[in-house]
Amino acid sequence: METITIAVLAGTARKQRMSIHAARYIADFGRALEGVEIIFVDPAELHLEGDGNDPEGKDPTYTAVTEKADAFFIVTPEYNHSFPGSLKRMLDSELANYNHKPVAFAGVSNGNWGGIRAVESLVPAVRETGLVVMSWDVYFPYIQKVFNDEGVVSEEHRERYEKQLGKLYAELIWFARILKDKK
């Protein structure tokens, strides 16, 4: 069986971001799956000048990731009922490399909504890129209670997230195999 490459995208470059814990957890979970290669993308490590999809606005590192990836898993915090501008900037830079590739979402917030409003506002923008959106998502409400300061998921939450991520990764991988075979 051919390996499926999934790019896990951390959704913000903000210094105080708690969502990085969820993004790393999701990437580590994927690394434990057979037949899956995970590429972790941190926008804080990219250099995306300008705006949009212009050649001068691309980061060669991210271009290579989007070319190689068979699927994407976006982890977005909720900022003011939406997703961060750094995520939008990253997504806009590589439109040609997203077509017919599936994407899963995880929403993150420090309140009880778990980033659902960020994901809801992200779906139309992501569909416009040509990515195929999965039908359900994973949410991390009260992120400060789910992970400790070192980014370790609490035992209280581990089973819930392992179950949810297992199901969502299975769907994402299934779609990635189908769409990859059609190219």
Domain that holds residue 52: 4-181
Q: Is the pLDDT of residue 183 over 70?
A: no
Return the axis-axis angle of helices 155-181 and 19-31, rounded to nearest 10°: 60
Question: To 10 degrees, the CA torsion angle through 61, 44, 21, 145?
Answer: -160
Domain holding 135: CATH number?
3.40.50.360
> pTM of the prediction?
0.96
pLDDT digits (tens, 9 = 90+) for 52-106: 778 888 999 999 999 999 999 999 999 889 999 999 999 999 999 999 999 999 9
pLDDT digits (tens, 9 = 90+) for 121-142: 999 999 999 999 999 999 999 9
Q: How many domains does the chain have?
A: 1
